[in-house]
Chains A and B, each alone.
Chain A
Amino acid sequence: MADGTSVPVGVMTPAMAGRRRASSMKRFAQRRSTIAFLLCLPLILLVACFVIYPAFYAIWLSMLNKKMTQFVGLGNFAFLLKRNTFQLVIFQSCLFAITAVIFKALIGITVAHLMHNIPGKNQRIWRGLLLVPWVIPLALSTLTWWWMFDPSYSAFNWILNELGFSSVPWLGVGWIARFCTIVVNVWYGTPFFMIMYLAALKSVPDQLYEAAAIDGAGAWQKLFFVTLPMMRNIIAITILFSLIVTFAEFDIVRILTGGGPQDMTHVFATYAFQVGIQSGDIPLGAADSLFMFPILAVAAFFVLRGVTRRSKEIAA
């Protein structure tokens, strides 16, 4: 009876018809979710094989002792936390990532606004020029930066000297070196922010601005009460993405300073590389690399949940 086929058509009651529709809807949904799952399967396989499995392997590694013969639980993490140098690394990683992301976001949004102000047909060339840093492979452009900061023949120092200033040891003094690594990261990452924001700016309906203008809103008010709220999702996602990637930064610090001077520019990835790969303590290096994972994961969870909720509100 359940499938309703044995009931003569003529005597089908409304209730039965309803049940029949429900069950075929259910089957339909089942089919639909099966297809949906199959469509996602390549993604799931890719992530499972090349990210999840190695990630769990890495987590397991981070819980072994130095010789990798014994399980020590969170011992490596506890050990790291007690080290002065590692505390410095935590501080520097946060300083590096947060400062760099703030500047990328600020400069990105400024440039995107400026770009949005100029007529569309002129935008192309400007956008093209401003995207150049994002387009050059990072490992190679960092080499250029390094060469410009180079102690013996710094191109920047040449300018300073010509202007009558003395040379600056760009990568030789802790705070200056920190500044330099952040500058290079901002230089590289800003175009990405710019392009994302520009896209978001274009999607804010003009009527909203006009309405705000009628209500007597000035430029700043428009920015804070129209533009930014409309761009909230894209700002959140871009910042999250950039924060995660910046926390994992390796190339810039490795090439520019290798962590020095006096360990002041070490970030998680470079320090992990030094203790894990170079000094042969792989578990400690793995623990170091995983250090930010819980914090960033929680942050990401909330940001993404907020984004999803907001986009549902917009859709509704």
Chain B
Amino acid sequence: MTRSGKVSRRRALKLGAATAALPLVHIRTAGAAGKLAIAFWDHWVPGGNDVMQKQVNTWAAKNKVEASVDFITGNGNKLMMTGVAEAQAKTGHDVYTFYNWDVYNIHESLAPVDDVVKYLIGKYGEVDATAEYLARQKDVWTAVPTSSGTQTKPPCGRISWFKKNGLDLQAMYPVKPEHTAAQDGWTWDALMKYAELAKNDGLTFGFGLGSNTNTDAIDMHGALFHAYGATMFDAKGNITLDTPEMTQCLEYVQKLVKFYPDDAVSYDDASNNRALISGKSALIFNPPSAWAVAKRDAPDVAKDCWTFSPPAGPKGRFVPTATFFWGVFQFSQNQSAGKELITYLMEREQVEERDNAVAGYDLPPFAKMLDFKIWETVEPPPGTVYNYPIRPWHKAKPSLTASEATPDIAVQVYNRAIHNQMMARIKEGQSIKQVIAWAKDELEGFTR
């Protein structure tokens, strides 16, 4: 995400100023009425859907819109499949929810929402760079990044085990706006040291190397590669595997994968959760859902969990993100109502109300909303997810795997799990040269 980071900031400021000058009625008077069908992501936290339904009802009653809401699960790729099919058939919902790359895959079927996003940026600050990368195509916002479901995937570690081994997670990433010295020492090399200790202890770090059902690992390894500056493509679509950074990164990987679980290749997104909850793993990269389930099924484990920033590499500290978007289909007969609803739902009061209902799982994509109280209060232990959002003093950047390439290429790198596959091959004993040769052949197929 390094590529668009600077640009977006500058542009965001400019746009913010521009939109602030515009009378807000610009969006308000579009005149909502009639019918509106919305598909939201089926929130896995109990109660998450109810508060959303309530907010939509409030808005619908105020604007005399007949709004029907569907909550569609992400399981079995259902949310995505229905979205693709609706775009192809040009029929279905007016407003639809897209997860991560899906918004890019479908952006040509979406109505521009520049006015909404610029208004929100003007009011709530800079937008997450990975979200912009995915949804802003050819300088036009094709969907609005939302908070509902949006997450980062930072490490979640066992406090007691790390303390026993000399690292106080709670002191390193405390529940206050403070950059500690220990944070600077939290590097990928340090992580490897603890991974080895864990292995000797008969525990694991629950890292997977699965294929595309293992997005937790794809995201984590994207952040690792970014931290070493190891890229697959440049922005022009040239393959960049033969760089010192890539070699350095893979040399590190060669050492690290020794401490991966033996069955890492067959991991999927639920495996690391189970590893943590069963007490077999001292660290995983995951949103706080694993911790939340532990709270229910293994309370002792949950009490011992701390979420904190990922380690840093030579090129900086990168936090894996996964963003949800709300888009308005071009075929919608009621685009203005759709945009108004999205705007309403993305106002701070609504976002915070929803976030409180889901125990802070949702991360707002706008900078000025990252001061909700909820992350300080969620427990046990109190403040366990305080460092789940990317805080300014973390000195970390959001990372979306393969986003150094243009999205049409990167989406293939991501979904084909190239990072995981390269690492899996190294774990299997292939040499760096062999792995790079394999990857090159694979990447050439993506540039068509």
Most chain A beta-carbon contacts within 10 A, residue among B101, B264, B412: B412
A127 to B: closest C-beta gap in Å: 32
Q: Please tell me if B202 contacts chain A, counting CB pairs below 8 Å.
A: no
Residues 262-292 (chain A) with a chain B CB within 8 angstroms: 262-263, 273-275, 277-282
In whole angstroms, how far apart are the Cα atoms of A280 and B421 in the complex? 21
Q: Are B265 and A261 in contact (CB under 8 A)?
A: yes
Q: Are A280 and B104 in contact (CB under 8 A)?
A: yes
Q: Mark B247-289, 1 if CB is under 8 A from A, else 0.
A: 0000000000000011111111001001100101000000000
Most chain B beta-carbon contacts within 10 A, residue among A66, A83, A280: A280
Residues 248-265 (chain A) with a chain B CB within 8 angstroms: 257-263
A-B contacts, 28 of them at CB < 8 A, read A67-B108, A84-B441, A149-B266, A150-B274, A151-B267, A152-B263, A153-B274, A167-B262, A167-B263, A171-B266, A172-B262, A172-B263, A173-B265, A258-B210, A258-B213, A258-B214, A260-B211, A260-B214, A260-B417, A263-B416, A277-B84, A278-B101, A278-B212, A278-B415, A279-B101, A280-B104, A280-B105, A280-B408
Given A83-B445, A280-B106, residue A262 in contact with residue B421 (CB < 8 A): yes
Q: Are B424 and A261 in contact (CB under 8 A)?
A: yes
Most chain B beta-carbon contacts within 10 A, residue among A83, A258, A263: A258
Most chain A beta-carbon contacts within 10 A, residue among B84, B268, B274, B411: B268
Partner of A259, one of B81, B108, B212, B274: B212
Neighbouring B residues of A67 by C-beta, 8 Å:
108
Q: Please tell me if A63 contacts chain B, counting CB pairs below 8 Å.
A: no
Q: Mark A219-261, 1 if CB is under 8 A from B, else 0.
A: 0000000000000000000000000000000000000011111
Which chain A residue has the least Cβ–Cβ distance from B108?
A67
Neighbouring B residues of A280 by C-beta, 8 Å:
101, 104-106, 408, 411
Q: Are B266 and A279 in contact (CB under 8 A)?
A: no
Q: Are A152 and B275 in contact (CB under 8 A)?
A: yes
In whole angstroms, how far apart are the Cα atoms of A47 and B424 in the complex? 45
Neighbouring A residues of B265 by C-beta, 8 Å:
169, 171-173, 260-262
Q: Are B212 and A258 in contact (CB under 8 A)?
A: yes
B80 to A: closest C-beta gap in Å: 7
Q: Please tell me if B123 contacts chain A, counting CB pairs below 8 Å.
A: no
Q: Please tell me if B77 contacts chain A, counting CB pairs below 8 Å.
A: yes
Given A151-B267, A260-B265, residue A277 in contact with residue B442 (CB < 8 A): no
Given A277-B77, A279-B412, A280-B411, residue A151 in contact with residue B263 (CB < 8 A): yes
Which chain B residue has the least Cβ–Cβ distance from A266?
B211
Neighbouring A residues of B80 by C-beta, 8 Å:
277-278
Q: Are B421 and A263 in contact (CB under 8 A)?
A: yes
Most chain A beta-carbon contacts within 10 A, residue among B80, B210, B262, B278: B210
Q: Which size bracket describes the interface of A in this complex?
A: 20 to 34
Partner of B442, one of A79, A84, A151, A274: A84
Partner of A278, one of B77, B88, B267, B442: B77
Q: Mark B71-115, 1 if CB is under 8 A from A, else 0.
A: 000000100110010001000000000000100111010000000
Q: Are B212 and A257 in contact (CB under 8 A)?
A: no
Neighbouring A residues of B264 by C-beta, 8 Å:
172
Given contacts A171-B263, A177-B266, A280-B101, 8 further A-B contacts (CB under 8 A): A172-B263, A172-B265, A258-B212, A258-B268, A260-B213, A261-B210, A274-B416, A280-B105
Q: Please tell me if A170 contacts chain B, counting CB pairs below 8 Å.
A: yes
Partner of B274, one of A84, A85, A152: A152
**Chain B residues within 8 Å of chain A by Cβ, number:** 42
Binding site for A on B (CB under 8 A): 77, 80-81, 84, 88, 101, 104-106, 108, 209-214, 261-268, 271, 274-275, 278, 280, 408, 411-412, 415-417, 421, 424-425, 441-442, 445, 448
Q: Are A66 and B274 in contact (CB under 8 A)?
A: no
Given A152-B271, A153-B278, residue A279 in contact with residue B262 (CB < 8 A): no
Partner of B212, one of A79, A152, A177, A274: A274
Binding site for B on A (CB under 8 A): 66-67, 79, 83-85, 149-153, 167, 169-173, 177, 257-263, 273-275, 277-282
Q: Are A169 and B105 in contact (CB under 8 A)?
A: no
Neighbouring B residues of A259 by C-beta, 8 Å:
211-212
The secondary-structure label for the interface of chain A is loop
In whole angstroms, how far apart are the Cα atoms of A80 and B159 in the complex? 49
Neighbouring A residues of B408 by C-beta, 8 Å:
66, 280
Q: Are A274 and B415 in contact (CB under 8 A)?
A: yes
Would you list the 5 A-B pairs with minimal beta carbon distance, nearest first? A260-B211, A280-B105, A151-B263, A172-B266, A171-B266
Q: Are B448 and A261 in contact (CB under 8 A)?
A: no
In whole angstroms, how far apart are the Cα atoms of A273 and B416 in the complex? 11
A113 to B: closest C-beta gap in Å: 37
Which chain A residue has the least Cβ–Cβ distance from B280?
A152
Which chain B residue has the least Cβ–Cβ distance from A284?
B448
Neighbouring B residues of A169 by C-beta, 8 Å:
262-263, 265-266
Q: Are A66 and B448 in contact (CB under 8 A)?
A: yes
Which chain B residue has the least Cβ–Cβ distance from A67?
B108
Given A262-B424, A263-B211, residue A277 in contact with residue B274 (CB < 8 A): no
Neighbouring A residues of B101 by C-beta, 8 Å:
278-280
Q: Are B445 and A85 in contact (CB under 8 A)?
A: yes
Neighbouring A residues of B262 by C-beta, 8 Å:
167, 169, 172
Q: Are A170 and B212 in contact (CB under 8 A)?
A: no
A148 to B: closest C-beta gap in Å: 13
